[in-house]
Amino acid sequence: MNVLNVEELLNLPWDQGKASDGEVRSLIASRVRLLFKSKPFPQASTVLENQVKQWTHATMGDTSIAVRTLGVFCLCSVAEHLTLNDYPVGFIDNFLKSAEEFSADDNVLVRAGALEMVFYLTKNIRNVMKSGHALTVVDLVFKCVSQHDPLLTALSQKVFSILQERVRGEPSLVDADGLMAVLARVDTEGGTSSQSLSLEWCELLCSLSLSVSLDSLLGLTTVILHYPREDTQWWDSLRFCRQASLQRTADGAPIQIVRYILDVVATMDHLEVCRFCLEWAADALSLCDSSSIGATLDSLQSSVLALDRLWGDEACVSAALGIQDMLMQKMAAQPYTLNADTLCCGLEQRGRSYAGCKMALRWLTFFAPQYTLDGFEAFLFQLALADDMEVVCAAVDLLCVLSSGTLRQTFTSLLLHFRGENREAFLSRLPFFLVRWQLIVLSHSAGKGATQLMTDVSGAILALGATPLARRVVWTLGVTLFTSPEFDSGRARLLQLGTDFSIVFSAWCCSATSAVGLCLYTKRFALAYTLVSFVSSQEVSIQTLVELDVLLATLCVSGIHIDSLHASLQ
């Protein structure tokens, strides 16, 4: 017995417009009820299963939209009147297969009918979930939603509402990993509507704390991060992903998390989310062992440097520097490999991104003892004149490492490099260089010791010889020496008139006014008088007079009594 054979189906008055949708459905519904009254279950379901196959094959290939629409309405009517909770798996398989075929139809009404079939199946047959068909349903619905039709979107929301209610009641019904695979595809292929529904599923999975693999968990994170929102539910979902991922500590999971997060942040523009993710990466990095870090060190440092577009945000910079510090700490006592040439090239490409330069310089300073960075010094000399003082100091620190850790050699190289520039560039950049030079010296006074620093600087100046650059450098440093608290200990050593004084005095003789100031400060008044007499017997330039005036004011501030010097100048 057939509920409604194909010939009878096609001969219904639908095609001639003589019957309404409701009348057709009513007719089919009455036949379905008759079937279940006349045959016991599951025999009735077997007959109905065959009927579903027959209707699908009879209508799917028909060129008439009316016939295809009628076919899907017939199936919808059957699904709507299914009243038993459980049906054979084969029956559900065939029904869903029919729905999938209709969901690919060109006509929106046919596709809508396919979604309506799925809705009734999901609502009326409880073992749709238990039979493992939930993912098939979710996949089918997302394919329909991606077609950007309001009717399809509304029907999809109805289906998902039923499915999500079932999952909340019995979370074990859903294969979380399989669902994440579906959501990941939707994230890349779907439109706005499907992506919004995808995010709803992500939030549901997070709220249920379902057990998923790390790959699925990171896929879930990707979906969530692509649609940043400000509501509490969205942030709770992201926090769940962070917390759940940090519980994975086996088989290199932490380093996988770090690499994933750094790659994701490199493409994000939402600063608050970037800060959150960088903290997440730092937490995961703290769980990593040195061996797993060493195997991926090149890619990790490249990923950190790629964050330079975030350097305008202080919190992001701080978090990134924290990650870098942790990497260095973990690798300090471990063998590692690093592509230093690639890092140097990447640093040069960053140009005036000073935060990125600073981070790259920290990397190079840390790794430099194990590598020869031939030809890289010239670029470091350029950075030593950068606008950012931290970059300047970092460049000088690296130059010190490359020159076996001696500041004297580094300062000498820096001064000789600057003197080697063409005259026009030299004159235009000299004031700027002198300020930078003063700051470089001050920044290193604490670490090296003021006395050692003075002798190192003096040795570098001696290498220049009696040149205009040496005279200006000495004059600039003279003011620093006499007034800066960082040089208190150095000034005390100078007063002892030992070898330190001899070294400094030898270098500072290239500037008469600076040499006079040094003699006065150390109370070598006779030597100071001799120098002043020599200067006064020469043709005195306006520049010299200005320097003397500044020198007197500086020494007065330092508490030096210079009445005798005034008398000699008269």
Last residue of a domain, one of 174, 199, 226: 174
Note the pLDDT tens digit of each residue in 174-228: 777 777 777 766 655 555 566 677 777 777 777 776 667 788 788 878 877 877 6
Q: Is 454 part of a structural domain of the chain?
A: yes
Q: Residues 163, 297: one domain?
A: no
Last residue of a domain, one of 174, 194, 216: 174
- Cis, bond preceding 42 (omega within 30 deg of 0): yes
Q: Which amino acid is at 374?
A: D
Q: Residues 135, 24: one domain?
A: yes
Last residue of a domain, one of 174, 204, 234: 174
User: According to the model, what pLDDT value does residue 456 have?
Assistant: 74
Note the pLDDT tens digit of each residue in 403-422: 655 666 667 776 776 666 55
Q: Is 354 part of a structural domain of the chain?
A: no
**All residues at 6 or more sequence positions from 468 whose CB lies less than 8 Å from its CB, including other chains:** none
* pLDDT reading at 457 higher than 60: yes
Sign of CA dihedral 398, 403, 406, 407: negative
Q: Is 376 part of a structural domain of the chain?
A: no
Note the pLDDT tens digit of each residue in 272-297: 888 898 899 989 988 888 777 777 77
Note the pLDDT tens digit of each residue in 346-383: 555 544 466 667 777 777 777 666 655 555 666 676 67
Closest Cα to residue 420, out of 384, 391, 376, 378? 378
Q: Is 412 part of a structural domain of the chain?
A: no
What is the 3-class SS of 542-557, one letter each residue? HHHHHHHHHHHHHHHH
Q: Residues 154, 14: one domain?
A: yes
pTM (predicted TM-score): 0.55
Of all residues in the chain, the percent with pLDDT exceeding 90 is 1
In contact, 52 and 78? CB cutoff 8 Å: yes
Q: Is 519 part of a structural domain of the chain?
A: yes
Q: Which amino acid is at 401?
A: V
Reduced to 3 states (helix: H, G, I; strand: E, B; else coil), residue 176 is helix
Q: Residues 276, 168: one domain?
A: no
Q: Is 408 part of a structural domain of the chain?
A: no
Domain that holds residue 59: 1-174
Q: Is 428 part of a structural domain of the chain?
A: no
Q: Residues 16, 101: one domain?
A: yes
User: According to the model, what pLDDT value does residue 155 have?
Assistant: 81
Quickly state the pLDDT bin for 425 (edges 50, 70, 90).
Answer: low
- CATH number assigned to the domain comprising residue 68: 1.25.10
User: According to the model, what pLDDT value does residue 458 have?
Assistant: 78
DSSP H helices in 131-231 = 134-145, 150-169, 176-189, 192-208, 214-225
* pLDDT reading at 14 higher than 50: no
Q: Residues 43, 152: one domain?
A: yes
Q: Residues 122, 19: one domain?
A: yes
Residue 12 gets the label, from left (phi > 0), alpha (psi -120 to 50) or beta, of beta
Query: Looking at the 3D structure of the chain, how many domains does it have?
Result: 3
User: According to the model, what pLDDT value does residue 352 have?
Assistant: 46
Q: Residues 155, 22: one domain?
A: yes
Q: Residues 24, 117: one domain?
A: yes
Q: Residues 164, 295: one domain?
A: no
What are the C-alpha distances in Å from 342 to residues 292, 323, 347, 484?
Answer: 21, 20, 9, 40
In contact, 122 and 163? CB cutoff 8 Å: yes
Q: Is 344 part of a structural domain of the chain?
A: no
Note the pLDDT tens digit of each residue in 99-116: 888 787 777 878 888 888
Q: Residues 12, 99: one domain?
A: yes
Quickly state the pLDDT bin for 92 (edges 50, 70, 90).
Answer: confident
Closest Cα to residue 191, out of 130, 146, 135, 253? 146
Q: Residues 23, 155: one domain?
A: yes
